[in-house]
Amino acid sequence: MRIKRIIRIASSAVRHRLDRLIPAALPLPWWLRVLLAPLKLIPAPNEPAEVSIRLFIEELGPVFVKFGQILSTRRDIFPPVLADELQKLQDQVPPFDNQLAREIVETSLEAPVGELFLSFDETPLASASVAQVHGATLPDGSDVVVKIIRPGIRAVIQKDLEVMYLLARLIESNWEEGRRLHPVDIVADYERTILDELNLQLEAANATQLRKNWLNSGKLYVPEVYWDYTRPDVMVMERIYGISSANLAEMHASHVNMKKLAHLGVEIFFTQVFEQNFFHADMHPGNVFVDISDPENPSYIGLDCAIIGSLTESDKDYLARNLLAFFNRDYYEVARLHVESEWVPSDTDIKEFESVIRSVCEPIFQKPISEISFGRVLISLFQTARRFNMEVQPQLVLLQKTLLNIEGMGRQLYPELDLWETAAPYMERWMENRMGLTGLLRNLRDHVPGLIGHLPELPGLAAATINELKLLGQNNRRQTRLLASLQTTLEDSQQQKRSMRIGGSALLGAFILALLPAAGMAAGTELMVGSSLLGSFGIYWMFIK
């Protein structure tokens, strides 16, 4: 099955002649040039190469379409013509059969479409990689949209995931950088994410929570979900009227305050990540609309809440402290935090690591976003990671993807946006609220109910603690007596050994004296003196041992 999928991917790439997209000046290994050479004998399609790559991605299904959606926001990396073509992947994927869409709705909601809705548009409003959306009207007159999962899409996704796992395992086992990059873990995280998109009840729950978080904020609006009409493969929600965040021409024609809109996007992102810990992780232009009814005070509309991210408290603290250190250009703190968090080995030279981080990050400060390519910065940081054996953190991959989307949108909306100027004050306020007196009081307030609940147990806990301390003291005293006894025994043993050595030396001296020959006192005297010196040396050796 995997081999068939790989063959299909390769044959599709050959049929669309994607080799046309490879720059002639790009240095390629000789063996790759040999493999690509026969492709020039195949006639190229009539459409431009940019159209060919979009068609190639559409053919391969939702996993590749999602990747193309991310690429469409990176106008700093790709030419405008290619970015415009990839942007069509956001909501212009070819729809599936309208009659099949009606059958799915009727099977899921267990009623004919004519009974469920006053009207149901046969032509979809939008068609994306995993689902398509139809306009409809409920019996009470409410305008809604009906989202329907593509039939058979799960099997296609499973095949692509098998291929991705195969490639990830090959990378991890055959490339020296593989273990550090954790490609299998990254694919596993992506698997959970994309499979969650196939359950519209999960998306409905996410949308309901996100709506609750921002209700009446005037900053982000999330449409209401109609739960009576929602099932795993069908979801009905309020229809909204706004314009796509990619429709810059209409926003400029309506004199929308683009600077305020861009700053609002940064505020929403940081609030979702650090305060609410519930962030929309699929922020491409197809999912983000803008309400321009008040051009001076525009606001966002969030759609498609299938992919939602969250972080652990330790991850949030780590990221916040790192971001603040970056904003303050405290690269030593950044390096120290990496070691403290064990993202780099504990024996890393912090000063050397600091110097490398400074060389990568210092050039991006005090510049508008139009002059900053975070893609290139990420490449530089990757090279730094390889040098210091930094491990990729799979739990943050979703956040990194969201950051790329946010940058792409910010670049389109307001190229002069100074991300650091916008984000730094927010992060400082957040850290002050978390670590300062306000945060201390809030934590105390949050834990008081739990402490009060344990008050009836305090007398028993105090008595048990006292008994434990008494037993601990008794054990300590017994251990002290035992150690003293062992020390005495050891000293006695050592004294006994010294006595045996002294006795042995004396015996040796006596034995030598007994062997004195009768021939001459002078010789005997010399031998006695020598034996005496030998015995004295033996006694001295015993004591210094």
533 contacts 512 by C-beta, under 8 angstroms: no
- Paired tokens of 100: 């099949």
Residue linked to tokens 């990689």: 129
| SS3 state at 25 | coil
Rounded to 10°, the helix 258-270/419-435 angle is 30
Is 282 catalytic? The answer is yes
Distance (Å, whole) CA 255 – CA 253:
5
- The closest alpha carbon to 251, from 418, 414, 416, 406, belongs to 414
Distance (Å, whole) CA 397 – CA 404:
11
In a 10 Å sphere around its CB, with 0-12 CB exposed, 13-18 middle and 19+ buried, how is residue 223 labelled? middle
- Paired tokens of 305: 């809440």
127 contacts 94 by C-beta, under 8 angstroms: yes
- The closest alpha carbon to 213, from 277, 266, 262, belongs to 277
Distance (Å, whole) CA 49 – CA 52:
5
CA atoms within 13 A on the CB side of 180: 16
Q: What count of other Cβ atoms lies within 10 Å of the Cβ of residue 61?
A: 20
- The closest alpha carbon to 292, from 321, 264, 269, belongs to 264
Distance (Å, whole) CA 184 – CA 186:
5
Distance (Å, whole) CA 187 – CA 171:
12
CA atoms within 13 A on the CB side of 502: 8
Residue linked to tokens 């010196």: 533
The one catalytic residue in 233, 282, 304, 418 is 282
Distance (Å, whole) CA 209 – CA 227:
13
| SS3 state at 346 | coil
The one-letter amino acid at 158: Q
93 contacts 100 by C-beta, under 8 angstroms: no
In a 10 Å sphere around its CB, with 0-12 CB exposed, 13-18 middle and 19+ buried, how is residue 430 labelled? buried
- Paired tokens of 87: 């942007």
Sign of CA dihedral 405, 408, 414, 416: positive
How many secondary structure helices (H) and strands (E) does the chain include? 22, 11
- The closest alpha carbon to 381, from 407, 399, 363, 405, belongs to 363
Q: Hey, which residues are catalytic here?
A: 282
